[in-house]
Amino acid sequence: MNRRTAIRRLATFFLTAASLAEALQAGKIFRIGFLDGSTAAGSAVLVKAFLHELSTLGWIEGKNFTIEYRFGEGKAERRPELAVDLVRLKVDLIVTTDLPTSLAAKSATTTIPIVMASVADPVGSGLVASLARPGGNVTGFANFSYELNTKRLEILKDAVPKLARVGLLKPAGGSDRALKELRPAALHLKLKLEEIETQIDAKGLESAFKTAKQKQVGAIMMTGATTFFAERKRIVELAVKYRLPAIYSQKEYVDEGGLMFYGADYDDLYRKAAHYVDRILKGTRPADLPVQQATKFAFVINLKAAKQIGITLPYELLARANQVIK
């Protein structure tokens, strides 16, 4: 970088900072769009983590920012129209919660900054040019969701030594990106992967678990779709009802009584997303903020759930867990 370019960038930085300071002093209320494919109730725990972190950074809802929430209620066809609605409102920034909502937001605008709270494969999906230099108006955080599915499959086999078939729940009509690594991993582990397309409502989930039992699966897992997250309590209850060991992609499933969780700390990702929101509203360009990958991971086992479904987990597996709930 030559001296003239450095001076120009420095001048731009100070002008942007001065503009923001003037806006804040003038009492401007920034408007944040929040686009989630799930439900308000289902995502409440993660929204709470995001808002709490914003408050620690000096943002007070109603005083210097407001949020326009848009929830897809598990309906894929609603995401594009909800993204367009936020753009129509001329929000200052859009927070997205997964890959589908991020793609919808990117399709709706090339100018409004977009912060991804937790996304799988942002480069491979075309959301950003690279992690270090995202370019454009999109940045945020990646959760390793696809890669961690393989590890979850390995844990299931260790938990159920004679395991031969695993039921994989996936949203009807959803993307098969998650299966790109999971299918060969199942072959390597000598496991039969029974893929069960699922309508994510009470009737659909019950039907999916009945199908799993009919296919004689010995354990259950699912893709990391946010639509499943909203129904986590029902899913956990069905796993107990059908006495099926299950491993989940988010800790909140175990909080509802689920057997095992292995994956990224989503609370941490949402808190970090708040920091990116803070920086962008204070003048930083999304293109200048690298997409960061999850750094906090955990393996949690719930022995209460194990007792409910009548299995004894190997000691070696328990020793690997970060937390064992007794």
Q: How confident is the model at residue 172 (pLDDT cuts 50, 70, 90)?
A: confident
Same domain for 190 and 284, yes or no, is no
Task: Give percent of the chain with pLDDT exceeding 90.
Answer: 83
Q: Across residues 196-203, what is the average pLDDT?
A: 92
Same domain for 78 and 66, yes or no, is yes
Please give the DSSP secondary-structure letter assigned to residue 57.
T
Strands, E assignment, the chain: 30-36, 65-71, 93-96, 114-119, 138-142, 165-171, 192-198, 219-222, 247-248, 260-264, 292-293, 297-302, 323-325
**Which CA distances in Å does 52 have to 57, 153, 178, 222, 250?**
9, 34, 31, 29, 20
Same domain for 196 and 278, yes or no, is no
CA atoms within 13 A on the CB side of 161: 7
Same domain for 167 and 138, yes or no, is no
**Is residue 185 pLDDT above 80, yes or no?**
yes
Same domain for 124 and 238, yes or no, is no
Q: Across residues 224-237, what is the average pLDDT?
A: 90
**Is residue 203 pLDDT above 70, yes or no?**
yes
**Is residue 206 pLDDT above 70, yes or no?**
yes
CA 210 to chain centre: 27
Q: Which of 106, 119, 113, 118 is nearest to 137 (CA)?
A: 113
CATH code of the domain in which 226 resides? 3.40.50.2300
Same domain for 182 and 273, yes or no, is no
**Is residue 180 pLDDT above 90, yes or no?**
no
The residue range of the domain holding 211 is 145-264+298-325
H-run or E-run covering 19: helix 3-25
Q: Across residues 65-84, what is the average pLDDT?
A: 95
Q: How confident is the model at residue 181 (pLDDT cuts 50, 70, 90)?
A: confident
Same domain for 315 and 185, yes or no, is yes
Same domain for 285 and 152, yes or no, is no
Interaxial angle between packed helices 202-214 and 232-241, expressed in degrees from 0 to 180 and rounded to the nearest 10: 30
Please give the DSSP secondary-structure letter assigned to residue 131.
S
Q: Across residues 173-201, what is the average pLDDT?
A: 88
Rounded-to-integer distance, Cα 112 and Cα 12, Å: 19
pLDDT at 4: 55
User: In this predicted model, what pLDDT tens digit does every residue of 130-154 receive, in sequence order?
Assistant: 999 999 999 999 998 888 999 999 9
Q: Across residues 43-67, what is the average pLDDT?
A: 97
pTM of the model: 0.88
**Is residue 10 pLDDT above 80, yes or no?**
no
Same domain for 196 and 174, yes or no, is yes
What is the pLDDT of the chain when averaged over all its residues? 91
- The sign of the dihedral angle between the CA atoms of 167, 173, 179, 183 is positive
Q: Which of 81, 80, 95, 87 is nearest to 46 (CA)?
A: 95
The count of domains in the chain is 2
Q: Across residues 261-288, what is the average pLDDT?
A: 97
Same domain for 237 and 158, yes or no, is yes
pLDDT at 179: 85
Same domain for 139 and 183, yes or no, is no
Same domain for 316 and 215, yes or no, is yes
Rounded-to-integer distance, Cα 20 and Cα 57, Å: 15
Largest CA distance in the chain: 71
